[in-house]
Structure 1
Amino acid sequence: MPIVYDYRYVIACSSLPDEFKREFRKLARGKVNRKYDRRTGADYPVSPETQCYRVAELLDGFETLRAGGFALQTPWNFQGKHLSHLIACWRAQEPTWYDQTKLVHWRQFLLWIRKRTLLALLNSTVRSEASCGHRTPAPVAVVPARGGAAIPVLTYDKVLSALTEHRGNLRKAARALGTTTRAVSQTFTEDSPSEKQLPSGIRILT
């Protein structure tokens, strides 16, 4: 059975508050599937797998901020102090943090929320540390960032469990999983779930 990458499911699995997740999902909708190239000024499509990695990396950063005492109500509240805290956490975890792929995702996020000043700050910090090497700053109190974000994926077993719980109702199962009926259907071998793939007595309701 296939696995399905759906950024909505990644958001639903996050331990962040529901209000924040709702606001983040609104922000990501229509943006997470595109990538802006600063060199060409063009937008390019982003694969579902990369969308999930991007969302997971960003949410992991917001969880790091929450652990550090920053309880943002919405991603739009992201400010310079939050970026500085994340950089300190990344630096504490890995001296060559400026070479990590996560920065690609955070640059895109800063474009989403139209914080070009913060994008310039991030880029200048990266250039400075990459060109002259990292110099240990004065000690700061940070919660070290965790070692990479986990990527929750939709699987047949997870979807089957939700469908069974909701007596074959696709809409209710999708809502419970925080995803779409299309994503639920994609976890089956066919375009839509077949009743023969469900436990006895369960039929598909759309």
Structure 2
Amino acid sequence: MQAVYDYRYVITCSTLPAVFKREFRKLVRNRIDSSLDVRTGRCYAVPAEVQCRRVAVLLEGFRVLRAGGFTPETPWNLRSKHLHYLRSRWSTEGLPEQAVAERLRHWREFVVWINKLGLLPILSLFPRETAPRSRHTRAPDGALVHDNTLPAIPVLTEAIVMAALTEHRGSLRRAAYALGTTTAAVCHALTGGRARDEAIPGLTILN
């Protein structure tokens, strides 16, 4: 099975309000695929899987905030009280140190995106949360580690794409729109990188 990691589809699958998801998507659009290493001043490309993990962690955080009685109207409305609440929740849940450290990395990146650097001290690594990087951690972004406490990442699969195409009578564009992604991502999930006719003989897709 060919699984395609696409942060747009992760946003689509979120249960947050549609207006909030639209604002979130606009916010991350030109930021999600690169990360600045503050030590060297260089920008690094962020792999698609890490992009999806970051989006999943952030949207789950905003979902937790709403469940806790906080209702930031847009992602730009993030405040210190929100981050303090999230840290308190992570502490109460007894998450492993590495799990907390990973969440902090994603939220630090987000705070930089919205240019609220004054919130960074709240997201600092406390001594008990500092953990050595394992060989599974991706550098320099350091955003992906094996952690089963993180939210699952929705991925595009052939079955999901075929269901959308069936619903939209074979229209590739409409299926992609319904999934919140691009026609290129839909084709990749459908064909696994092979030529369309070779992957699924006889299938006609309307653009």
TM-score by length of 2: 0.83
Q: Which amino acid aligns with 1:54?
A: R
Q: Which amino acid aligns with 2:34?
A: R
Q: Which amino acid aligns with 1:76?
A: W
* Cα root mean square deviation, aligned: 2.2
Of 172, 177, 185, the residue aligned with 2:174 is 172
Asked if the contact 1:6/1:48 (under 8 Å) is kept, the reply is yes
Partner residue in 2 for 1:189 = 192
Give % identity: 49
Partner residue in 2 for 1:117 = 118
Partner residue in 1 for 2:158 = 156
Residues 1:21 and 1:27: Cα distance change in structure 2 (over 3 Å): same
Aligned pair count reads 188
Q: Greater CA radius of gyration, 1 or 2?
A: 1
Q: Report the Cα offset of residue 171 of structure 1.
A: 0.5
Q: Which amino acid aligns with 2:64?
A: T
Asked if the contact 1:36/1:44 (under 8 Å) is kept, the reply is yes
Residues 1:97 and 1:157: Cα distance change in structure 2 (over 3 Å): same
Q: Which amino acid aligns with 2:154?
A: P
Q: Report the Cα offset of residue 104 of structure 1.
A: 1.2
Alpha-carbon distance in 2 for matches of 1:62, 1:29: 18
TM-score by length of 1: 0.84
Mapping 1:46-61, distance limit 5 Å = 46-61=46-61
In structure 1, runs of 5+ residues without a counterpart are 132-145
1:91 equivalent in alignment to 2:91: yes
1:82 equivalent in alignment to 2:113: no
